[in-house]
């Protein structure tokens, strides 16, 4: 790894315009035709100042707690990779597109005292291995979660979803409500609002054959990932995201040509017909539900948090994180984890009465 880093540094010195070229390429492919600078750079002066450590530094938190364990299990959908930490009732965390279970590292570390926390890698993501013809749609991922829980002999979970993982969580909860002890949805695909307008340029780029080149550009220069032209708008503080985190997210997606093709199939399968198909069932869901939303999300407007709260009968609380963006479970993990603790206590308190 050190050698690769050195090689990149040498290359940067020899070609000082490489970063500019990479950012321009990614921006042109992904965001150029669709989003103006005003959308991506709107001021965030009203957001509260958070006395928090940078993401690159908080990985040292809870050093005395047991380390998370990386495991895998065989299902009909594939060899599913997951990370778990803690004991007790199971909490299942579902990430979104381009990321993997590493998104939830702060939840696993901080909440492992009250839950057996499990962060799964979805089909076509992370270290999960699938057949080239495996269905990777969001509905297929929801069905995979059932297979996954069956394989681990887990009856019920506290389900938590973010981004497209939130859409998958809705589908899972609607199809298998008996498996959901509680539900938490953060900024995510909702109703007919997906793929969101701000993500359509990325889908168009992938459909045009530019996916692997874009992923490699972001890996070779991590600042490209953090730029306004790429994934920067998904973060409140993209500068706090470490190179190591970006590596953990993106490297599995280019490990082989087949893995990149699997991701491309996942992207091509984006269609709101999946959430519309389960909407009637979602509107009967009684599982205690928390809706937590960032107010500065360029992908999923806060109005969709209201839609979910109004349409899921089990909703107990809707909370907004002012100034936060889509990946706030990673950036605002302390605030979010407090909400999760309180949410998970409520069903237990009711049951005890």
Distance, in Å, from the CA atom of 118 to the CA atom of 138, rounded to the nearest integer, reads: 19
Distance, in Å, from the CA atom of 58 to the CA atom of 110, rounded to the nearest integer, reads: 11
Give the pLDDT confidence of 301-320 residue by residue, as tens digits: 999 999 999 999 999 999 99
**How many CB atoms sit inside 10 A of residue 318's CB?**
17
Continuous H helices in the chain: 2-14, 18-30, 37-40, 105-111, 138-151, 164-175, 200-207, 211-220, 222-226, 243-250, 257-268, 273-277, 279-282, 303-311, 328-331, 333-352
| pTM of the model as a whole | 0.85
Read off the pLDDT band of 262 (50, 70, 90). very high
* Residue 111 Rama label (left phi>0; alpha psi -120 to 50; beta): alpha
pLDDT of residue 66: 72
Kindly write down the DSSP assignment for every residue of 228-244, as one continuous string: TTTTGGG-S-GGGS-HH
Nearest partner of 122 among 109, 149, 140, 110, judged by Cα: 140
Looking at the DSSP bridge assignments, the partners of residue 82 are 71, 120
Report domain extents, the chain. Answer: 70-202+253-352
> Contact, 263 vs 290, CB < 8 A?
no
pLDDT of residue 23: 54
Give the pLDDT confidence of 36-63 residue by residue, as tens digits: 333 333 333 333 333 344 444 444 444 5
In words, the CATH class of domain 70-202+253-352 is alpha beta
Distance, in Å, from the CA atom of 312 to the CA atom of 295, rounded to the nearest integer, reads: 20
Give the pLDDT confidence of 66-114 residue by residue, as tens digits: 789 999 999 999 999 999 999 999 999 999 999 999 999 999 999 999 9
Read off the pLDDT band of 151 (50, 70, 90). very high
HSE at residue 242, side-chain half, CA atoms within 13 A, is: 14
> Contact, 78 vs 144, CB < 8 A?
yes
For range 182-211, the mean pLDDT: 96
Terminal Cα distance for the chain, rounded: 56
Residue scoring higher pLDDT (234 or 38) = 234
Is 80 exceeded by the pLDDT of residue 266?
A: yes
Read off the pLDDT band of 346 (50, 70, 90). confident
**Three-point CA angle 157, 321, 344, nearest 5°:** 25
Residue scoring higher pLDDT (317 or 33) = 317
> Contact, 19 vs 12, CB < 8 A?
yes
According to DSSP, the β-strands at 116-120 and 78-85 are: antiparallel
Distance, in Å, from the CA atom of 132 to the CA atom of 168, rounded to the nearest integer, reads: 21
Angle between the 200-207 and 18-30 helix axes, to the nearest 10 degrees? 100
Residue scoring higher pLDDT (137 or 56) = 137
């Amino acid at each position: 790894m050190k050698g690769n880093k050195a090689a990149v540094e040498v290359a940067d010195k020899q070609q000082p315009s490489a970063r500019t070229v990479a950012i321009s390429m990614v921006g042109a492919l992904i965001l150029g035709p669709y989003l103006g600078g005003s959308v991506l750079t709107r001021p965030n002066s009203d957001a509260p100042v958070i006395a928090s450590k940078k993401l690159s530094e908080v990985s040292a938190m809870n050093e005395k707690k047991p380390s998370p364990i990386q495991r895998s299990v065989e299902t009909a959908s594939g060899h599913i990779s997951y990370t778990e930490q803690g004991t007790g009732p199971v909490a299942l965390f579902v990430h979104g597109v381009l990321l993997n279970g590493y998104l939830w590292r702060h939840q696993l570390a901080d909440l492992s005292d009250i839950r057996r926390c499990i962060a799964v890698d979805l089909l076509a993501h992370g270290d999960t291995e699938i057949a080239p013809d495996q269905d990777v749609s969001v509905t297929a991922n929801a069905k995979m979660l059932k297979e996954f829980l069956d394989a681990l002999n887990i009856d019920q979970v506290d389900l938590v979803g973010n981004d497209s993982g939130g859409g998958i969580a809705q589908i899972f909860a609607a199809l298998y409500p008996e498996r959901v002890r509680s539900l938490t949805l953060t900024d995510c695909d909702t109703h007919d609002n997906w793929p969101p307008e701000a993500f359509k340029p990325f889908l168009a780029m992938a459909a045009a054959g530019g996916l692997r080149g874009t992923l490699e550009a972001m890996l070779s220069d991590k600042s490209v990932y953090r730029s306004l032209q790429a994934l920067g708008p998904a973060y409140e503080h993209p500068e706090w995201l470490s190179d190591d985190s970006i590596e953990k997210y993106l490297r599995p997606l280019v490990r082989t040509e087949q893995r990149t093709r699997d991701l491309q199939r996942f992207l091509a399968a984006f269609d709101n017909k999946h959430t519309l198909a389960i909407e009637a069932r979602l509107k009967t869901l009684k599982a205690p539900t928390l809706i937590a939303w960032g107010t500065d999300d360029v992908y999923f407007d806060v109005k969709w948090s209201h839609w979910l709260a109004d349409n899921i009968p089990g909703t107990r609380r809707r909370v907004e994180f002012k100034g936060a963006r889509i990946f706030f479970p990673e950036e605002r993990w302390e605030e979010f984890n407090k909400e999760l603790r309180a949410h998970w206590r409520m069903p237990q308190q009711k049951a005890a009465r």
